[in-house]
């Protein structure tokens, strides 16, 4: 009989503990923020309150009696972080506000008030995924996020390319606060300018996704305007950046765009769709990676654009013509008459002109140089290549200010544009 009573007592205690555990009030707190642990009782004139943490041992969190906070025995972990709603205590509200929540605050709490009212709460802490950064550098797409709890996972989605051509790596690290940083990378085996990559970081409490769309590379002449495309699709939170770390401008919902000071002379317009009209100067200042980032509640969408600035044209001597890329040959319509002086200037060019063929010169616009001039015609020749000696004998009566190039025929330097003047 005595043994049976002992079993019944133990069973009753176990059931009471189970009810207490199952009846704990869940409290969900965000890391670094403030959190309220609710507790109410029947108000009386002599309030006695103790808040304790009861994980294995009792830790005094906050006490109140004699109409004053009593913090002489408060655990150092909670100093300066707890408070009550003093103006509501007389009405029975003795909830505890806990500031700067950290992972050590997790556990079971007891709110005790006289006469013999006990309320148990179970506090959990989470650090949600607030941002995911995705970018492309040297054919490697990287994705990273940090300050997360509990431990997160990272997954990839790639459109228009099979996953078999990708190399995937993921790393997770725990910092000194107990939070997790996660990073992943996809390395492609080709120069990809068409795919769309999506990276998702999630745990049981939160998730966030980032997508990068690779726009075909663009080119622009220096000192000109270029339109960088972006489709905001109705989103108002848009940010343009240069080379990943320089902010150009940002526009948020209900606000005008804010242009950074160093970019104010370059930004011409930001369209409703998010496209950026930009004035570019030189390759040293304007060439690089431009990113349009759109954000909403749980996703970021990035348009990645590589912009190349073409080389500046080279100004020609004297006459204002330009162009290392020009191979235009400018000649007078007719050669001068015999005995009339002629000067010849050879300017640099990006194309190689063929050597002149032997024979008589013709009027109009010849395409071969040099031309055989009538006897008695004096010439002056300047070339972009250094003079060199030659054993070839010049025609009778022809004079030159520089020695001919070492060749069986006199011809302009490779890649020259010629202008003959009478």
Using alpha carbons, select from 164, 46, 41, 183 the residue that is nearest to residue 112.
41
How far apart, in Å, are the Cα atoms of 113 and each of 56, 82, 88, 336?
21, 17, 15, 117
Highest mean pLDDT among 252-261, 348-357, 376-385: 252-261
Highest mean pLDDT among 44-58, 353-367, 408-422: 44-58
Indicate the DSSP class of residue 163. G
- Mean of pLDDT values over 83-112: 95
In the 3-class helix/strand/coil scheme, how is 302-358 assigned residue by residue? EEEEEEEECCCCCECCCCCCECCCCCCCECCCCCCCCCCCEEEEEEECCCCCCECCC
Residue 249 has pLDDT above 70, yes or no: yes
Query: If residue 12 lies in a helix (H) or strand (E), which one and from where to where?
Result: helix 2-22
Measured distance CA(65)–CA(196) in Å, rounded: 63
Using alpha carbons, select from 346, 359, 360 the residue that is nearest to residue 414.
346
What pLDDT score does 402 carry? Answer: 44
Instruction: Categorise residue 138: left if φ over 0, alpha if ψ from -120 to 50, beta otherwise.
Output: left
Measured distance CA(297)–CA(155) in Å, rounded: 19
- Mean of pLDDT values over 45-59: 90
Domains of the chain, earliest start first: 18-126 (2.60.40.10), 128-214 (2.60.40.10), 218-312 (2.60.40.10), 315-357+412-422 (no CATH)
- Mean of pLDDT values over 30-50: 91
Structure pTM?
Answer: 0.64
Highest mean pLDDT among 85-89, 186-190, 384-388, 399-403: 85-89
Higher pLDDT, 378 or 76: 76
Higher pLDDT, 199 or 370: 199
Higher pLDDT, 231 or 357: 231
Residue 342 has pLDDT above 60, yes or no: no
What pLDDT score does 11 carry? Answer: 42
What pLDDT score does 347 carry? Answer: 41
φ, ψ for residue 205 (rounded to 5)? -105, -25
Q: What b/e readout covers 221-241, taking b as 16+ CB neighbours within 10 angstroms?
A: ebeeebebebebeeeeebbbb
- Res. 343 pLDDT band, cuts 50 70 90: very low
What pLDDT score does 54 carry? Answer: 95
**Contact between residue 249 and residue 338 where contact means Cβ atoms under 8 Å apart:** no
The encoded tokens of residue 61 equal 């969190």
CA atoms within 13 A on the CB side of 393: 3
Tell me the pLDDT of the chain averaged across its residues.
76
What pLDDT score does 28 carry? Answer: 97
């Amino acid at each position: 009989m005595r043994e049976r009573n002992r079993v019944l007592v133990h069973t009753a205690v176990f059931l009471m503990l189970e009810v207490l555990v199952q009846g704990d009030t869940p409290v969900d707190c965000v890391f670094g923020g403030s959190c309220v642990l609710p507790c109410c009782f029947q108000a009386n004139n002599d309030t006695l309150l103790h808040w304790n943490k009861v994980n294995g041992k009792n830790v005094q969190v906050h006490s109140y009696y004699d109409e004053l906070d009593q913090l002489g025995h408060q655990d150092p972990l909670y100093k300066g972080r707890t408070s009550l709603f003093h103006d509501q205590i007389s009405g029975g509200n003795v909830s505890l506000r806990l500031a700067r929540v950290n992972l050590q605050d997790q556990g079971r709490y007891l709110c005790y008030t006289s006469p013999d009212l006990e309320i148990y709460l179970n506090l959990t802490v989470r650090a949600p995924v607030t941002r995911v950064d995705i970018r492309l550098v040297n054919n490697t797409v990287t994705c990273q996020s940090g300050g997360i709890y509990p431990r997160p996972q990272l997954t990839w989605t790639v459109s228009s390319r099979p996953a078999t051509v990708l190399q995937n790596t993921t790393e997770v690290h725990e910092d000194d606060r107990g939070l997790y940083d996660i990073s992943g990378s996809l390395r492609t085996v080709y120069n990809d300018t068409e795919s769309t990559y999506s990276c998702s970081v999630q745990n049981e409490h939160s998730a966030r996704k980032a997508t990068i769309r690779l726009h075909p590379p663009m080119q622009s002449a220096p000192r000109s305007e270029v339109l960088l495309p972006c489709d905001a699709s109705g989103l108002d939170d848009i940010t343009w950046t240069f080379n990943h770390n320089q902010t150009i401008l940002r526009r948020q919902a209900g606000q005008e765009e804010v242009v950074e000071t160093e970019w104010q002379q370059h930004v011409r317009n930001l369209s409703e769709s998010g496209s950026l009209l930009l004035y570019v100067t030189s390759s040293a200042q304007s060439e690089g990676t431009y990113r349009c980032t759109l954000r909403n509640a749980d996703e970021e969408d990035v348009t990645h654009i590589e912009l190349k600035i073409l080389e500046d044209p080279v100004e020609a001597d004297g006459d204002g013509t330009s162009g290392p890329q020009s191979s235009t040959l400018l000649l007078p319509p007719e050669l001068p008459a015999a005995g009339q002086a002629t000067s010849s200037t050879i300017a640099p060019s990006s194309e190689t002109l063929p050597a002149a063929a032997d024979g008589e010169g013709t009027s109009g616009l010849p395409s071969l140089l040099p031309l055989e001039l009538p006897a008695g015609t004096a010439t002056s020749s300047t070339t972009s290549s250094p003079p060199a000696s030659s054993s070839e004998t010049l025609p009778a009566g022809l004079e030159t200010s520089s020695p001919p190039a070492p060749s069986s025929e006199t011809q302009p330097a490779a890649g020259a544009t010629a202008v003959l003047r009478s």
